[in-house]
């Protein structure tokens, strides 16, 4: 039962609950009209203390398509936090007005803290370098929709694996399923954190390897998950400039890949996927964006008890 539940990280959901949400998303994809009024009268608050385009608009579009309404902010500078109000007090206030909260913060653990003070479900829309569970649901819906299953997949995570919360979330979620193998492709400075490999993957028996060159392993992949090198996560601009172009996907590299591999990216991209790749039928990142709205529709409907 998902009604009333906080969704802070993928571990908050069991395998059966992930399957339930993804299956509902697939039903919505097939027949969205049947779901257009299921959350009528419900209100979603979008509290975005960090800039966002896709995630915020996707949440808002999801609630509107379900027949609900939205209020919130996209800039922390317009809130009482600039006056010194604590996050706890902000959440106490907002949760008294709405039925569900989607929150993004640059601070790790902020969504978990918010859940302790909220009287309504809190959905983490990204907290620093930690987790991004609705992007993970988006990724799973996309992988199952285009690959037929999220089991038995060889997934290459490429780029910023140290700070990439979408990578951390998807790796944790896919470790719940049988037969998956991960290849982590990054420079040494941006390698996947040990808490992912030691605390999550090894106990789950997930096979994983590392590589520094995308072209050396792309031919093994069923899913290539590209990420951008995130300037906002660096303390030293020289390190960012040195690493930002470490991995660029182009037509030449795509020729080395399987014919049925899919390319995903949580977006925004900078220059890690060249526009020349967009016309390749394996480029699925814009389909992924649309699937994200359906995944969030399914999650909102479940935690608010609309379905």
Query: Which of 82, 83, 178, 259 does the annotation list as catalytic?
Result: 83
Whether 116 is catalytic is no
Query: Which of 6, 42, 65, 104 does the annotation list as catalytic?
Result: 104
Whether 6 is catalytic is no
Query: Which of 54, 92, 181, 282 does the annotation list as catalytic?
Result: 54
Whether 83 is catalytic is yes
Query: Which of 132, 165, 244, 265 does the annotation list as catalytic?
Result: 132
Per DSSP, the residues of the chain read --TT--B-SGGGS-HHHHHHHHHHHHHHHH-GGGGTTTTTT-EEEEEESS--SHHHHHHHHHHHHTT-EEEEES-GGGSGGGGT--HHHHHHHHTTT-SEEEEEESSTTHHHHHHHH-SS-EEEEEETTS--HHHHHHHHHHHHHHHS-SSS-EEEEES--SS-HHHHHHHHHHTTSTT-EEEEE--GGGPPPHHHIIIIIHHHT-EEEEES-HHHHGGG-SEEEE----GGG-S-HHHHHHHTTS--B-HHHHTTS-TT-EEE--S--SSSB-GGGTTSTTB-HHHHHHHHHHHHHHHHHHHTT--
Whether 132 is catalytic is yes
Whether 209 is catalytic is no
Query: Which of 6, 42, 55, 134 does the annotation list as catalytic?
Result: 55
Residue numbers annotated as active site? 54-55, 83, 104, 132
């Amino acid at each position: 039962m998902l009604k009333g539940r906080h969704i802070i990280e993928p571990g908050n959901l069991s395998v059966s609950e992930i399957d339930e949400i993804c299956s509902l998303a697939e039903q919505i994809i097939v027949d969205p009209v049947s779901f257009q009024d299921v959350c009528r009268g419900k209100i979603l608050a979008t509290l975005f203390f960090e800039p966002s385009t896709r995630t915020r608009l996707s949440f808002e579009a999801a609630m509107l398509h379900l027949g609900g309404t939205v209020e919130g902010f996209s800039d922390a500078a317009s809130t009482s936090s600039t006056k010194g109000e604590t996050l706890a007090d902000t959440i106490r206030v907002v949760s008294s007005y709405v039925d569900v909260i989607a929150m993004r913060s640059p601070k790790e653990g902020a969504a978990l803290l918010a859940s302790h003070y909220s009287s309504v479900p809190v959905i983490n829309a990204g907290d620093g370098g930690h987790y991004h569970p609705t992007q993970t649901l988006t990724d799973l819906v996309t992988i199952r929709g285009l690959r037929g299953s999220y089991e038995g997949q060889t997934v290459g995570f490429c780029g910023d694996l140290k700070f990439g919360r979408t990578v951390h979330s998807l790796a944790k979620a896919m470790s719940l399923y049988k037969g998956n193998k991960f290849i982590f492709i990054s420079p040494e400075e941006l390698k996947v954190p040990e808490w992912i490999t030691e605390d999550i993957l090894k106990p789950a028996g997930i096979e994983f390897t590392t590589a520094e060159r995308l072209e050396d392993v792309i031919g093994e992949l069923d899913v290539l998950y590209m990420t951008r090198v995130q300037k906002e996560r660096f303390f030293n601009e020289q390190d960012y400039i040195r690493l930002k172009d470490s991995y660029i996907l182009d037509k030449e590299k795509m020729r080395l890949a399987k014919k049925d591999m899919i390319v995903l990216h949580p977006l925004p991209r900078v220059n890690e996927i060249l526009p020349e790749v967009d016309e390749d039928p394996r480029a699925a990142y814009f389909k992924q964006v649309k699937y994200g709205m359906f995944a969030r529709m399914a999650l909102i409907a479940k935690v608010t008890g609309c379905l």
